[in-house]
Amino acid sequence: MISEGDVVVAELPQADGMVKPRPVLILRELPGFGDLLVCGISTQIRHAESDFDVIFEEGDERFSDSGLRATSVVRLNFLASIPVNRMTRRLKKISLDAFEALQSNLSATSCG
């Protein structure tokens, strides 16, 4: 069973139309059909938005909790709603502190 705060591999559509397995973080189960709000995870650290995205660095406690293989950025600006059947496997669950920091960053952002 997967839940909020889990890092999972999911089949995600790419800009070129292809579907590829990518790591994502489950932010919330959406009401209705059970789809999941997720954010993408990338090793392309240069895409990190300071004071918004969160970087999980190798050697950091948050990194070891995540199940990721390399230093990665949890990209809050890459959100998607995907059905649970697109999840291929669960890696690990991030710490409650890291999950709350991400939620705080997401809810504190303003448009303007």
Q: Which domains does the chain have, with CATH numbers?
A: 6-108 (2.30.30.110)
Find where tokens 């705080």 sit.
104
Residue 110's pLDDT is what? 62
User: pTM for the complete prediction?
Assistant: 0.88
pLDDT above 90: residue 50: no
- Comparing 18-22, 66-70, 97-101, the range with the smallest average pLDDT is 66-70
Q: Tokens for 44?
A: 């392309």
Q: Mean of the pLDDT values across residues 96-112?
A: 82
Residue type, 81: S
Find where tokens 């990338």 sit.
42
Question: CA 39 → CA 10, 34, 59, 85, distances in Å?
Answer: 11, 16, 23, 16
31 burial via Cβ count (<10 Å: 0-12, 13-18, 19+): exposed
